[in-house]
Structure 1
Amino acid sequence: MDPLPLKSDFLFRMELTVEGTLLGATPVGERRVGLVTGGRFHGPAASGVVLPGGADWMLTGSDGATRLDVRAMLRAEDGQLIGITYTGLRAGPPEVLARMAAGEVVDPATYYMRTAIRFETAPGPLDWLNKVLAVAIGQRPPQGPIYDVYAVL
């Protein structure tokens, strides 16, 4: 039997502003927490703002890859609140990751940044998101992460 094709629909681009806090070396790796201070999202499925108060608990392992573990809150233009939870991975050549850590602009084609996303919202025009698994292709410019979010069909 042939594999089923992977299909997706673009939902929106999400741009976050974050402040970083370094916890340092822990028993499981180097832990950093990026506090979400705001942002926006815009696209064919929904548009609005990213509310302050979320966080990304990043863990960088001995392999140099960073595991992302994020919870944040979005508010659509119509006022509907959307919880977003995602885990992901950012990896690349050590010299590229070092430049990124130093705050340099780095070509997103030189590293890998992908996430798996779940949404949670109350009844309303966007409650269909509760039944969607999404994936995102990310990039990490100095001003904060950007994700192009796609529903997996």
Structure 2
Amino acid sequence: MTPTLETKYVFTITAHIGNVTSAGDIGTGVRRIIPIVGGEVKGTINGKVLPFGADFQIIRPNELIELEAKYAFETDDGATVYVENKGLRFGPVDLLQKLKRGEPVDPKLIYFRTVPKFETGHEKYRWLMEHIFVASAARHADRVVIDVHQVM
């Protein structure tokens, strides 16, 4: 018998975002690049999202959005943690189009889940590289809020 999967909330990343750049329809969907311009980390780890990086998205014809964000945060005690966060956002087409226009949408109506991966050379935070994490996220006009959970 295998161990039961359980998750434990560890922290929330709030990534502030800039204006969307689109590379247009690339044949498999519309490529969008959304800069990450700062933010904060609160919970088991506290710190600030560094003002660089981006979310590289492909919006499929049915509005299924594949996301791949790459950025970093600095903990309150000075460690730098690189983040690579891949996921999916999907929901009713009219609500996803409202989100694209920057209009508010109830996050409970949108499926937005990710799998963040962390890298750091700081000994205190090596545990981030030794576990799998999953996250539930919400997109707002100027930020993305990501609740990160450790798979136990």
Name the count of aligned residue pairs: 151
Deviation at 1:94, TM superposition (A): 0.6
Residue by residue, what CA displacement relative to the aligned partner does 1:53-107 show, whole Å, maximum 9, x if unpaired? 1111100012210000111111000000001111000000011111111211110
Query: Does residue 96 of structure 2 align to residue 97 of structure 1?
Result: yes
Deviation at 1:125, TM superposition (A): 1.2
Query: Does residue 137 of structure 2 align to residue 138 of structure 1?
Result: yes
4+ residue runs over 6 A deviation: none
**The residue matched to 1:145 in structure 2 has which SS?**
strand
Unaligned runs of 5+ in 2: none
User: In the alignment, residue 40 of structure 2 is paired with which amino acid?
Assistant: R
Q: Give the equivalent residue in structure 2 for 1:30.
A: 30
User: Counterparts of 1:76-91 in structure 2 under 5 Å?
Assistant: 76-91=75-90
Q: Give the equivalent residue in structure 2 for 1:114.
A: 113
Cα distance in structure 1, aligned partners of 2:36 and 2:132: 22
Deviation at 1:4, TM superposition (A): 4.3
Q: Give the equivalent residue in structure 2 for 1:39.
A: 39
Q: Give TM-score, length-normalised by structure 1.
A: 0.94
Cα distance in structure 1, aligned partners of 2:104 and 2:11: 23
Cα RMSD for the two superposed structures: 1.2
User: In the alignment, residue 23 of structure 2 is paired with which amino acid?
Assistant: L
Cα distance in structure 2, aligned partners of 1:80 and 1:38: 16
Q: Give the equivalent residue in structure 1 for 2:54.
A: 55
The question of whether the paired residues in 2 share the 8 Å contact of 1:90 and 1:113 is answered with yes
The question of whether the paired residues in 2 share the 8 Å contact of 1:16 and 1:38 is answered with yes
Deviation at 1:144, TM superposition (A): 1.2
Cα distance in structure 2, aligned partners of 1:123 and 1:48: 14
User: In the alignment, residue 38 of structure 2 is paired with which amino acid?
Assistant: G
Cα distance in structure 2, aligned partners of 1:60 and 1:99: 14
User: Counterparts of 1:62-81 in structure 2 under 5 Å?
Assistant: 62-81=61-80
User: In the alignment, residue 89 of structure 1 is paired with which amino acid?
Assistant: L
Cα distance in structure 2, aligned partners of 1:55 and 1:100: 18
